[in-house]
């Protein structure tokens, strides 16, 4: 018999809405740190990233936290527990965004973590762990077509080949890091030792419609899907759009269109998730039959083996459909992340946290979206708390949350941290 979830919209018991209001105000303030005057865009190692880190560092300092930014561009704050130098329970998420982003993806997790620190700071001297907040960068991979760079460095999983990745202006990660004031030769200093950590808890908007459909403000994440990302190329032959008869054409864009439709059909058939988010026809003249098309491919599933089988099916189908048009299909992997199960004990603390808001049997779900917790899981147990977002919208300016749900989320986050403290005595 599940305890009734708090009626939607009910003011949360105990959560001063003021904390949630401040959290949402800070999401708005961070949304103003954007490369674009129209929407929100804040990418790895950009001036906006530096300003967001500085803003977060100021908020951390106000709470009495010791602050530092690491050699991967992540921003940290630390509050000692009942003794100096204890292993830390880390709360956090990311401050970087996708292009034309919403204002809550990642950001809500960071500002909510700071609200929890604000509440627990007066009793930090009784906590059996230090409390840290991390604002990761490059969870999205928007600028350099890979992802989780900041959290991978923290997990000690930095790959040297990432330095040579370039953005659309040809700037490499290495150059961008140096311009940002980082020393690439010291990136390994960002790695945290497992023995210095108790665990990692991340609050994040669900970025899907399940909580709204279940009329629940909060949910527990059981596992996080690992995405594989690719750049695909369809090669044909550029020709005159007027003078070239159809039998003589090797139109790369028509071939790519068949691939895009097959990606959706094969994903639906396999109960997987595959998306083409970007497509570029070359040379791009309106009177030129495209000779080359570059497109992105993002593939996920609840289990890695199902995801990998879907990648194979998509690749085989695309090879065949392109060959039938005398086109060539090439697939290059640009990012891969293994799916991750959330730690059972930390999940239990999240369940206890949600119970403190009146929901005794919270919705549990696997995350279709990727998160920094996936990288951090390599060095410490992780768990996530989902907050409902309107119509499941994310990665778009229409992304939104309610004040009440954010207040419930901060309450649950605080209660989850206290449950971890109780379990650790
Ligand atoms: O792509 C994702 O799932 C995440 O939002 N980076
Ligand atoms: Mn995202
Ligand atoms: Mn995110």
405 pairs with which residues across the strands? Answer: none
The number of beta carbons lying within 10 Å of the beta carbon of residue 178 is: 13
In the reported structure, the alpha carbon of residue 250 is separated from the centroid of ligand 3 by a whole-number distance in angstroms of 40
Task: Sketch the domain layout of the chain as residue ranges.
Answer: 17-225+339-423, 227-336
In the reported structure, the alpha carbon of residue 371 is separated from the centroid of ligand 1 by a whole-number distance in angstroms of 6
pLDDT in tens, the chain (425 residues): 333 444 444 444 445 699 999 999 999 999 999 999 889 999 999 999 999 999 999 999 999 999 999 999 999 999 999 999 999 999 999 999 999 999 999 999 999 999 999 999 999 999 999 999 999 999 999 999 989 999 999 999 999 999 999 999 999 999 999 999 999 999 999 999 999 999 999 999 999 999 999 999 999 999 999 999 999 999 999 999 999 999 999 999 999 999 999 999 999 999 999 999 999 999 999 999 999 999 999 999 999 999 999 999 999 999 999 999 999 999 999 999 999 999 999 999 999 999 999 999 999 999 999 999 999 999 999 999 999 999 999 999 999 999 999 999 999 999 999 999 999 98
Q: Is the CB of 251 under 6 A from ligand 1?
A: no
What whole-number distance in Å separates Cα of residue 136 and Cα of residue 118?
A: 20
Which ligand places an atom closest to the C-alpha of 396?
2
Task: Locate 206 and state its tokens.
Answer: 């669900």
What whole-number distance in Å separates Cα of residue 136 and Cα of residue 108?
A: 13
- pLDDT value at residue 146: 85
- Tokens 């708090």 label which residue? 6
What whole-number distance in Å separates Cα of residue 151 and Cα of residue 157?
A: 9
- Tokens 């403190």 label which residue? 356
- Count CA within 13 A, CB hemisphere, residue 165: 20
What whole-number distance in Å separates Cα of residue 175 and Cα of residue 164?
A: 9
- pLDDT value at residue 16: 67
Which of 202, 276, 370 maximizes ligand 1 atoms within 8 Å of its Cβ, making it the mutation to test the pocket? 370
- Tokens 């004990």 label which residue? 345
Task: Locate 315 and state its tokens.
Answer: 């690749």
- Tokens 């390599």 label which residue? 378
- Tokens 């928007």 label which residue? 142
In the reported structure, the alpha carbon of residue 183 is separated from the centroid of ligand 2 by a whole-number distance in angstroms of 27
Which of 94, 107, 139 maximizes ligand 1 atoms within 8 Å of its Cβ, making it the mutation to test the pocket? 139
Q: Is the CB of 379 under 6 A from ligand 1?
A: no
Under CATH, domain 17-225+339-423 is a member of which superfamily?
Zn peptidases (3.40.630.10)
Q: 204: buried, middle or exposed (CB in 10 Å: 19+, 13-18, 0-12)?
A: buried
Which of 108, 143, 147, 399 maximizes ligand 1 atoms within 8 Å of its Cβ, making it the mutation to test the pocket? 147
Nearest to 93 by CA among 107, 81, 79, 103: 107
227-336: in CATH 3.30.70.360: yes
Q: Is the CB of 208 under 6 A from ligand 1?
A: no
197-205 and 382-387 as β-strands: parallel, antiparallel, unpaired? Answer: parallel
Task: Locate 62 and state its tokens.
Answer: 């106000």
Q: What is the 3-state secondary structure (H, E, C) of 275-321?
A: ECCCEEEECCCCCEECCEEEEEEEEECCCHHHHHHHHHHHHHHHHHH
Q: Is the CB of 139 under 6 A from ligand 1?
A: yes
**Angle of the 107-120 helix axis to the 47-62 helix axis, nearest 10:** 20
Q: Name 245's Cβ contacts closer than 8 Å, sequence gap at least 6.
A: none
Q: 118: buried, middle or exposed (CB in 10 Å: 19+, 13-18, 0-12)?
A: middle
Q: Is the CB of 370 under 6 A from ligand 1?
A: yes
Distance spanning both ends of the chain, measured CA to CA: 30
Which ligand places an atom closest to the C-alpha of 227?
1
Nearest to 402 by CA among 202, 214, 218: 218
Q: What are phi and psi of 401, to 5 degrees?
A: -135, 165
């Amino acid at each position: 018999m599940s305890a009734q979830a708090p009626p939607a919209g009910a003011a949360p018991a105990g959560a001063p809405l003021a904390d949630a209001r401040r959290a949402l105000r800070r999401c708005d303030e961070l949304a103003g740190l954007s490369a674009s005057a129209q929407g929100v865009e804040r990418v790895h190692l950009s001036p906006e990233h530096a300003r967001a880190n500085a803003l977060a560092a100021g908020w951390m300092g106000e709470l009495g936290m010791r602050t530092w930014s690491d050699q991967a561009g992540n921003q940290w704050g630390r509050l000692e527990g009942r003794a100096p130098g204890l292993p830390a329970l880390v709360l956090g998420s990311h401050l970087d965004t996708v292009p034309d982003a919403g204002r809550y993806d990642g950001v809500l997790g960071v500002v909510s973590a700071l609200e929890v620190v604000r509440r627990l700071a007066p009793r930090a001297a009784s906590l059996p762990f230090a409390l840290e907040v991390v604002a990761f960068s490059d969870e999205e991979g928007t600028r350099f077509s890979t992802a989780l760079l900041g959290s991978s460095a923290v997990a000690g999983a930095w790959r040297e080949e990432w330095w040579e990745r370039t953005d659309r202006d040809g700037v490499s990660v290495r150059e961008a890091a140096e311009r940002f004031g980082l020393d690439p030769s010291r990136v390994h200093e960002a790695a945290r030792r497992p023995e210095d950590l108790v665990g990692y808890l991340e609050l994040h908007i669900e970025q899907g419609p399940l909580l709204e459909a279940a009329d629940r403000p909060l949910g527990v994440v059981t596992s996080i899907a690992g995405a594989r990302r690719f750049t695909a190329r369809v090669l044909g032959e550029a020709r005159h759009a007027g003078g070239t008869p159809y039998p003589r054409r090797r139109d790369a864009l028509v071939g790519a269109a068949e691939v895009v439709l097959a990606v959706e059909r094969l994903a639906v058939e396999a109960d997987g998730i595959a998306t083409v988010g970007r497509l570029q026809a070359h040379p791009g003249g309106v009177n030129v039959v495209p000779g080359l098309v570059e497109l992105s491919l993002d593939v996920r599933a609840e289990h890695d083996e199902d995801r990998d089988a879907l990648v194979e099916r998509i690749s085989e189908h695309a090879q065949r459909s392109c060959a039938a048009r005398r086109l060539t299909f090439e697939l290059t992997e640009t990012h891969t992340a293994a799916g991750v199960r959330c730690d059972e004990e930390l999940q239990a603390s999240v369940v206890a946290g949600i119970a403190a808001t009146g929901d005794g049997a919270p919705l549990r779900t696997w995350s279709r979206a990727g998160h920094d917790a996936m990288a951090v899981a390599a060095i410490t147990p992780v768990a996530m708390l989902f907050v409902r977002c309107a119509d499941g919208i994310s990665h778009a300016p229409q992304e939104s949350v309610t004040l009440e749900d954010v207040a419930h989320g901060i309450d649950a986050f605080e209660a989850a941290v206290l449950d971890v403290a109780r379990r650790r005595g």
